[in-house]
Amino acid sequence: MTDDALSRIADALDRIAPLPGTPADPLADPAYVWRGDRLHAAQHFLPLPLALLTGIDTQKEAVLENSRRLARGAAAHDILLWGSRGSGKSMLAKSAIAALQADGDNLALVEVAPDRLDSLPDLFALLAPVDRAFVLFIDDIGFDGDAVAARALRSLLEGGAEARPANMRLYVTSNRRHIVPRSMAEQDDPVNPRDARDDSLALSDRFGLSLGFHAASQPDYLAMVAAYAAHFDLAFDETDAIGWATRRGGRSGRVAWQYVVELAGRAGRSLG
C-alpha cells in the first residue's frame, strides 16, 4: 500500500473518531465548565453587574466577602444558596466572581453539573496544583431518591479522604434549605427515625454559609425592575410591571429581568 493511501486512511479515521479536544488552560479564562472528563472554557461568561442585583444586599455582601477571602488565600466557606426559584441565587454567585475579577483578583468559576458529582475528585486533583482560586458552582442540586450521591458530596465537603483542596470551595444552589428531603432520609433507616432525620440535615450543615433567598415583595420587585430599566435606559409603567408579574404567577428577580427583556423587545432594542 502506498504512503498516499495510508495517509488517506489515517485522515478518514481521524474524521470518524477525532482525537479528544485540548483541555482549557485553568489560568486563562474567567469561567469554565467541567463535564466529568475535561475542563472547557465557558462561552460568553457575562453575568449582570453586581450593583444591578437588588433586594438581596445581605446575601450579596456575604458571597462577595467569602469569594474575596478565597481569592486572596484566606480561609473561606463552602456556600449553600437556597430558596425561591428565580430569586437570584445563581446570578449572584456568577456576578460576585465577575466583580472580583474586574478588581484584579485571581479567581475563576467552574460550573459542575449535578449529575457529575462522582467526578469531583478528578477535578480536585486537576485544580489543586494551579496557582489560582476556584469556585466550583453546582446549580439547582437535589438528591431525590439518591442517598449515596448525597453522602458522597458530604464526604467531599468535609472529612473525606478526597475533601476539596484549599484553593477551591463549592457554591451550591437549591430550591430547598435541606437538600436531602426528609422523607428520603427516613426511609434509609426505619429502625431509628431520629438518626435518619439528623442525616437529612447533615449535608446542608456541611456548608459554612447557608444563605436564604425568599419571594420578593412588591416594592422589592419594582425596585429590581427600576434598576434594570435605568441601567438600559428603558421607561416602564409600574402597573404594567405588576401585571407582568401577576401573569407570571409571582415576583422574583428572574421575572423582573424577563419584564425588562419584554420592554426592550417592545422598543425594538437589544440588551446585548
Q: Does 19 score more than 70 pLDDT?
A: no
Per-residue pLDDT for 161 more than 70?
A: no
At 59, list the grid cell: 446575601
Cell of 37: 472528563
Q: Using a CB cutoff of 8 Å and minimum separation of 24, what contacts does 41-46 make?
A: 42/109, 42/111, 45/94, 45/98, 45/109, 46/98
Q: Whole-angstrom Cα distance, residue 195 to residue 39?
A: 39
pLDDT digits (tens, 9 = 90+) for 206-229: 889 999 998 889 999 999 999 999
Q: What is the 3-state secondary structure (H, E, C) of 187-235?
A: HHCCCCHHHHHHHHHHHHHCCCEEEEECCCCHHHHHHHHHHHHHHCCCC
Strands (E), the chain: 31-34, 39-41, 79-83, 107-112, 133-138, 168-174, 209-213
Residue 119 has pLDDT above 70, yes or no: yes
Residue 238 burial by Cβ neighbours in a 10 Å radius (0-12, 13-18, 19+): exposed
**Residues 6+ positions from 47 with CB-CB distance below 8 Å:** 91, 94, 95, 97, 98
- For the stretch 227-272, pLDDT in tens is 999 999 999 999 999 999 999 988 988 999 999 999 999 999 998 7
Give per-residue pLDDT as tens, 163-184.
789 999 999 998 765 555 544 4
The pLDDT, as a whole number, for residue 13 is 52
Give the pLDDT mean for 120-146: 87
Query: What CA–CA distances, in Å, run from 118 to 69, 112, 153, 163?
Result: 27, 11, 8, 13
pTM summary value: 0.80
Better-scored residue on pLDDT, 142 or 95: 95
Is the pLDDT reported for residue 92 higher than 70?
Answer: yes
Dist. CA 228–CA 260, nearest whole Å: 7
Q: What is the DSSP letter of 160?
A: S
Give the mean model confidence (pLDDT) for residues 118-138: 94
Going edge to edge, which strands form the sheet with 168-174?
Answer: 39-41, 31-34, 107-112, 133-138, 168-174, 79-83, 209-213
What value does the mean pLDDT of the chain take? Answer: 83
pLDDT of residue 124: 93
